[in-house]
Amino acid sequence: MSKPLKIVETILRDGHQSLAATRMRTSDMLPVLEQLDDAGFWALEAWGGATFDSCLRFLNENPWDRLRTLKKYIRKTPIQMLLRGQNILGYNHYADDVVKEFINRAVDNGVGVIRIFDALNDVRNLEVSIRAAKEAGAHVQGAFVYTISPYHDIDSFLKVAKDLVNLGVDSVCIKDMAGLLAPYAAFELVRTLKSNIPAPIHLHTHYTSGMASMTYLKAIEAGVDIVDCALSPFSMGTSQPATEAVVAALEGTERDTGIAKEKLYPIADHFRGVKKELAETFKLNTAIDIDTKVLTYQIPGGMLSNFLNQLKEQGMADKYPELLEEMPRVRAELGYPPLVTPTSQITGSMAAFNVMLGRYKVVPREVKDLARGKYGRTPAPIDPATRETILGDEPLIEHRPADDIAPQMAALTADLADKGYPNALIEDVLSYALFPEVALDFLREDGC
């Protein structure tokens, strides 16, 4: 019997976030939106992640206007977004009323599928957003972050998946943000999830380590329902496998996608021109190589390059090998957090400080917050000696961190009014909540 593989096309979000620093503009998308809508994708990932910040900070675009514009042209295919649970699209936890309002406005403005994850796989940080998204009428996809450590195995991932199903998600996503999931590990993980989880299983990975297409093929053999792909101009490198290649590979099989690859060629041709123009306009290097070092250090190559540049600026380039050894050590001491935003930045910065200044001589606030439990429960206990060094006798947070945050919407609305915007739309208040300075700059530039 035929069981078509469903595909989410990521070129409007993760494809250009991965290869072009999230610089694709709405005008770059408009000419082919109706063609994308007609292609037969399960969803088009087009919002959330870093696109919200990038619209405001770099492109002088209102991300809410982008969403509304996309919805005008994309009428048949659901628009998908990526949401960081209680962090929404920012880097801190927000009050429950902000989370609920953001999700309501996202759905009202056009989002049909919301993929929700937490950097630590702490499902307590997903409860409010999942419930709000269900009530708003979206397809709710609960995601767990895939990583490798002594504390992460199939049983631990299965437990998180079951917890997500118990919270009422409509599908479960394996979110492999660093390209760590190996082909045969994918087969076993997907097979286990399919045997134990009633919801559809979705796989998201990146080509960073070079394994992604092989990983997809084994996951497909194991019965995965949906995968993320990017049209060829914005595929590979640190992005997803190429859509056209996955479609072609499955033609004539029981997992045939039903998508005509010939319909994708002119869309890809358009984005090939967009990629070239973005590289020239924003001075971007869009030819990002595969970096197998991620399999050891679990931090993507771009981040490693940034740390090398920091060391060079401090005259400490010779300490780079020491930094590479320090990263997994710090990660172990901090409870093996998956290295995804914001925990990747937190862990990496602590390793850099340790190498440059001495181990835990200077500890950023975010590292202290992670050790205290302000971001949630780490997969493994924080190393006791490290915790004492970082925190001393500061109290730990054992409950859901957002329980400590009072409602914020009224105060944010009043604060924005005090700054000269008494008639701000709810969407503007939410932009201000997530990125205060950037949103204010945008409102001034926009003449609101």
Domains 6-282 and 407-446 share a fold: no
Residue with tokens 């490198």: 237
pLDDT above 60 (res 336)? yes
- Average pLDDT score over residue span 359-364: 96
Terminus-to-terminus CA distance in the chain, angstroms?
57
Task: Note the CATH number of domain 407-446.
Answer: 1.10.10
317 has pLDDT over 90: no
pLDDT of residue 139: 98
Looking at the predicted structure, is the pLDDT value of residue 59 above 90?
yes
Structure tokens at 82: 């990526």
Tell me, letter by letter, the H, E, C secondary structure of 51-115: HHHHHHHCCCCCHHHHHHHHHHHCCCCCEEEEECHHHCCCCCCCCHHHHHHHHHHHHHCCEEEEE
DSSP-derived 3-state class of residue 124: helix
Cα radius of gyration (the chain):
21
pTM of the full structure? 0.95
Q: Distance (Å, rounded) from C-alpha 26 to C-alpha 74?
A: 13
Architecture of domain 299-402: Orthogonal Bundle (1.10)
Give me the chain's average pLDDT, please.
95
Which of 112-121, 291-300, 318-327 is the most confident on average?
112-121
| Cβ neighbours of 410 (radius 10 Å) | 11
Whether 361 shows a pLDDT value over 70: the answer reads yes
Q: Is 372 exposed, middle or buried (0-12, 13-18, 19+ CB in 10 A)?
A: middle
Flag whether pLDDT at 108 surpasses 70: yes
CB 24 within 8 A of CB 274: yes
Residues 371-394, mean pLDDT to the nearest whole number = 96
The per-residue pLDDT for 300 is 65
With cut-offs at 50, 70 and 90, classify the pLDDT of residue 396.
very high
Annotated domain spans of the chain: 6-282, 299-402, 407-446
Tell me the pLDDT band of 302, cut-offs 50, 70 and 90: low
When the candidates are 3.20.20.70, 3.40.50.1100, 3.40.50.300, 1.10.10.60, the CATH number that belongs to 6-282 is 3.20.20.70
For the record, the structure tokens of 408 come out as 């914020």
Q: Which 3 state secondary structure label does DSSP give 202?
A: strand
